[in-house]
Amino acid sequence: MQVMVYQDVGITQREEAQMGMITIDYKDRRPLYQQLMEKIEELALGGLIKADEQLPSVRSLAVELAINPNTIQRAYGELEKKGIVYSVPGRGSFLAASQEALLSKSRDVILRDLLQLIERAKSCGIGREMFLTEAAKFYDEGNDGSDYNTKYQQAF
């Protein structure tokens, strides 16, 4: 069944590609606008949306996801406050050139995860020296092409 929702919208190919990537997880309990923000941040970090690229319009995304346009407006508004997105009156929202805000947030998340990992390492008896040595090896892994990855995979 083809319901004629889109016919007068004029969705561009670019928009269509982006919208395909912005999805909603109905099992996720967080507010929808937060989910949307996170999705767009992920796409930006992954380079799937480029600097100064236009984001899907509020209307087309609302129609595509069948959710309230106000929710999408809110997500874009919050992203703008964080400096991830900028808006041009009458034209829409665009991805900001500098993603410093995003990168610094990602770094915070990674450091927080690292903290948890260290706690776990401590609790099963991995000492400081061992942790740091192993961490250093993994950190350099990409540079010297060694095979730690295979070694550790075998262990499991």
Positions that interact with another protein (CB under 8 A): 1-5, 7, 9, 24, 26, 29-33, 58-59, 62-71, 73-74, 77
Minimum separation from the CB atom of position 152 to another protein (A): 27
Minimum separation from the CB atom of position 95 to another protein (A): 21
Compare residues 33 and 41 and give the one whose CB is closer to another protein.
33
Compare residues 18 and 60 and give the one whose CB is closer to another protein.
60
Minimum separation from the CB atom of position 155 to another protein (A): 26
Round to whole Å and give the CA distance between 3 and 131.
58
Round to whole Å and give the CA distance between 80 and 93.
9
Compare residues 62 and 118 and give the one whose CB is closer to another protein.
62
Give, in degrees to the nearest 5, the angle at Cα 23 between 22 and 26. 155
Minimum separation from the CB atom of position 33 to another protein (A): 6
| Structural contact between residues 49 and 94, judged by C-beta atoms closer than 8 angstroms | no
